[in-house]
Each structure stands twice: as C-alpha cells, then as structure tokens.
C-alpha cells in the first residue's frame, strides 16, 4: 500500500472515523489568539478550542511548565503519586469548596467519576438494594460522550442508537422550579447541572433555580453536582461559576481550560464524600499524570490572578458591546446571553436554524467562532485575548454577517413567493 507523506484536509475523509466534520482547512500553528492554516492564512480565534485555550495559544509560562516537566518526569502511573499532581490538588482545594480531588483526562470522565461517586454514596448509605439511585438531569444539558454521561445528558439524539442505555435517569426542563420540586425526592441520589448550559445554547441558570436545587438536594439527601467543564477555570469571571452564584455543590467537575490544550480533568468533592471511594473502586492510567498536572498547575496559577479574572469581565463587556453594535446594524440576534467569556447570541427568526452558516461565513472572513445548537452562535475566546484581536475579529465577523444578510433569507419549504 502506498502512503502519501503530505496530509491535507482530504486525508481526513480517507483515514478518520467520521464523527467530526472539520472545516475545509487545516490549522498548523497558533500564537495568542491568532491561528495560521497550512496555506499560511491567518485567523482570529474567538472559539478558543471550544472553551479550552484560556491563556491563548503558546503561552510562554505554559510551554515552560510543559517542557520542564517533560524533561523531568512524564509518566509514572498511579502506583506512585507525583509532585505536580499533589501541588495541583493542593491548589484546587485551597481555591475552592473542595477538600479532595480525583484526576481524569476529559470532562466526560470527570462526570463519569462524579456520577459513580453519587451512586456509591447512596448504596453505602442505604444498602445495595436501595431504590435511591435516580439521577436528575436537565433537557438540553451536555455532560460528555461515554455511555453513562451521554445518557445523563439532555439531548436524546446523542444517545440514539447506543442502547440499552443506563437506567435511573430523569430529565426535566432547565430553570423550571416546579419541575425540580415535583421530581427531586427520596429516590434521587444526585442532581447534575451546568451553571450555564454550554452546548445546549449558552443558557445561564437562574440564581433562584440553583438555590432551589441546593435546597431540594439537602432536603432529600441527594448530591448536587455542578458540571463546570465549560464554565470553569475563570471563564465566568470567577474561578468557578458556583462562586458567581453563591451556591456550593457537593461535587464539581472541571476540564477543558484546566489544561489549556493539554488533556486533564478533575472531580472535586468534600472529604466525607470522597471517603466512599477506596483503593480499587475507581481509577485511570493517565489521571493526574505529572505532565498534565504540571501544565494545569501553571494554568491555574495564571488564571487565578486578579488581573486575569477582572480582564474576563472587561473583555466580556467589550464582546457584548460589539455584538450589540452589529445587531443594531443588521438585526440578526434575538438575544445575547451567557456569563463572562461564555457568550451566546441567539439568532432572530429570519435566521433561525442557520448558526452553522454564520460560523462558515465567519471562517471565510478568517474568524473562528462556534455554534451551540442550530440557533445560537457561541464565543469562548481566550481569557486574555488582546482587545485589538477582539476588534479585528468582530470587524471580520461583521463582513460575514453582511454577506449572509446581503444574500437574503432563503425561502423555507412551502413558503409563498411574494
């Protein structure tokens, strides 16, 4: 068999399992919030690798942490502990409600650990034959792609075809106090919620809703799990969004920005809950790997500085002002929402369902952004994106908007021509 040495976007279709539909170019290098493709075209990155590159691309401190640790000790396994993981766990517990940390490699795995811990707590407390096993989750939520987390997520399409699915999971409407009050009860072992639903359309929880979930969990001896995979590590303007809300969970999961591009995730919890896991009950070969932990420790050190967190609010205001101005000229948005630098722009009726068209048109103008479902554009830039890059990014985005608006609104099936 002959194999070509050069790879292009077309190679993807030849060699990859087709679970993604990547853009028609291949990024090859990046710096800060600018990315270059294999043809040396330059893009402004307002997507941040889907809320991952919180400190931008190629941050010198992150590179230094990575290369120093790579030369020292990359991997040793959890048969031994290691200094970077211990330092990172100390930093996470010092900075949050948590007293104990479990490291994993992805958001899905951190959530898997959280859900397993919740079931284990319930069976330890109530016996193996307990019916206190129900997990309450919310419509449109997203918690990952393992079979358990995709079943817990509130987007049934993602779980279709993979049955039989794990049982004992109930989905109810997000931000619905009555549904929560009538569903969370003695059989509930855990409630899992994103403080701001990310993939599901950038929908912030109402503060009263999270307070009510906390109250109902306390009332029914259920654990409250905050999935902060997308909202965490400074994106909300606080280190974690629970701090913005003033509602403390029993378990919190974090990933994405924690590694700024190096895979690492963590499940944070309290000491009494952590005690329900013992050696052998859960684990991961790579979890808490020294290389990943050294990077994450540096990322957290940088993100937790006041300058970075205050900068998130300033940049968020700047983005919202730019989007409002574009909307004033084109009327393409129905609502702007989100928290900090997790920003959603819901398209107005004539453009409903066309979020991917806007993302593609933006790429044509060399600016990277995301959709969240079919109706919402999503921005998750670096937390330290330069203001000049934001301005240039929105200038290019407006050109993209202009091409879509100038092309007119395509007629929907069955619509009369007037």
Ligand X SMILES: Cc1ncc(COP(=O)(O)O)c(C=O)c1O
Residue 250 as a binder of ligand X (CB under 6 A): the answer is: no
Helix (H) or strand (E) holding 272: helix 271-274
Angle between helices 306-330 and 387-407 (to 10 degrees): 20
Binder of ligand X out of 137, 140, 230, 257 (CB under 6 A): 230
Binder of ligand X out of 92, 150, 190, 255 (CB under 6 A): 255
Which residue's CB is nearer to ligand X, number 32 or number 198?
198
Q: Give the pairing of strands 370-371 and 333-339.
A: unpaired
Residue 344 as a binder of ligand X (CB under 6 A): the answer is: no
Which residue's CB is nearer to ligand X, number 88 or number 264?
264
Site string for ligand X, 133-172 (x = CB under 6 A): ---------xxx----------------------------
**Sign of torsion over alpha carbons 146, 152, 156, 160:** positive
Least Cα distance to 194 among 152, 162, 159 occurs for 152
Binder of ligand X out of 47, 108, 136, 376 (CB under 6 A): 108
Query: Per CB under 6 A, which region of 18-26, 218-226, 227-235, 381-389 contacts ligand X?
Result: 227-235
Give the pair of three-digit tokens for residue 152.
């817990």
Which residue's CB is nearer to ligand X, number 110 or number 184?
110
* Cβ burial, residue 75 (10 Å; 0-12/13-18/19+): exposed
Binder of ligand X out of 98, 224, 229, 339 (CB under 6 A): 229
Q: Scan residues 167-206 and list those touching ligand X (CB under 6 A).
A: 194, 198-199
Contacts of 182 (CB under 8 A, 6+ apart): none
Q: Compute how many residues bind ligand X; rule: CB under 6 A.
A: 14
User: What is the rounded distance in angstroms from the CA atom of residue 84 to the CA atom of residue 68?
Assistant: 12
Angle between helices 83-95 and 290-303 (to 10 degrees): 30
Nearest approach in angstroms of CB 339 to ligand X is: 13
Residues that bind ligand X (CB under 6 A): 106-108, 111, 142-144, 194, 198-199, 227, 229-230, 255
């Amino acid at each position: 068999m002959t194999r070509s040495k050069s790879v292009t976007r077309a190679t993807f279709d030849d060699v990859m399992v087709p679970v993604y539909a990547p853009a028609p170019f291949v990024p090859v290098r990046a710096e800060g919030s600018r990315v270059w493709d294999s043809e040396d075209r330059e893009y402004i990155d307002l997507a941040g690798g889907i809320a991952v590159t919180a400190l931008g691309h190629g941050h010198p401190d992150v590179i230094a942490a990575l290369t120093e640790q790579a030369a020292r000790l990359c991997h040793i396994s959890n048969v031994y502990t290691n200094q970077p993981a211990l330092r990172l766990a100390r930093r996470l517990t010092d900075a949050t409600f948590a007293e104990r940390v479990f490291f994993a490699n992805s958001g899905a795995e951190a959530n898997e650990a959280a859900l397993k811990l919740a079931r284990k707590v319930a069976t330890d407390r109530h016996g193996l034959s307990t019916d206190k096993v129900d997990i309450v989750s919310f419509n449109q939520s997203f918690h990952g792609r393992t079979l358990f987390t995709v079943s817990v997520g509130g987007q049934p399409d993602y779980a279709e075809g993979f049955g039989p699915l794990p049982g004992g999971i109930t989905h109810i409407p997000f931000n619905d106090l009555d549904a929560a009050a009538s569903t969370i009860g003695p059989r509930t072992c855990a409630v899992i919620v994103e403080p701001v639903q990310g993939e599901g359309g950038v929908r912030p929880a109402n503060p009263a809703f999270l307070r009510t979930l906390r109250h109902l969990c306390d009332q029914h001896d259920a654990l409250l799990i905050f999935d902060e995979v997308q909202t965490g590590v400074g994106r909300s303007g606080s280190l974690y969004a629970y701090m913005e809300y003033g509602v403390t969970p029993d378990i919190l999961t974090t990933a994405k920005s924690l590694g700024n591009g190096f895979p690492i995730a963590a499940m944070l919890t309290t000491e009494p809950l952590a005690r329900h896991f013992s050696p052998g009950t859960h684990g991961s070969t790579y979890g808490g790997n020294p290389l990943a932990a050294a990077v994450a420790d540096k990322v957290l050190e940088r993100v937790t500085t006041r300058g970075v967190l205050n900068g998130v609010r300033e940049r968020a205001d700047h983005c919202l002002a730019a989007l409002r101005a574009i909307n004033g000229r084109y009327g393409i948005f129905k609502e702007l929402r989100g928290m900090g630098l997790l920003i959603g722009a819901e398209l107005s009726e004539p453009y409903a369902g066309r979020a991917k068209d806007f993302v593609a048109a933006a790429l044509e103008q060399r600016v990277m952004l995301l959709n969240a479902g079919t109706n919402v554009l999503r921005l998750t830039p670096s937390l330290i994106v330069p203001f000049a890059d934001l301005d240039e990014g929105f200038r290019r985005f407006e050109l993209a908007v202009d091409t879509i608006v100038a092309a007119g609104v395509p007629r929907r099936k069955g619509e009369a021509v007037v």
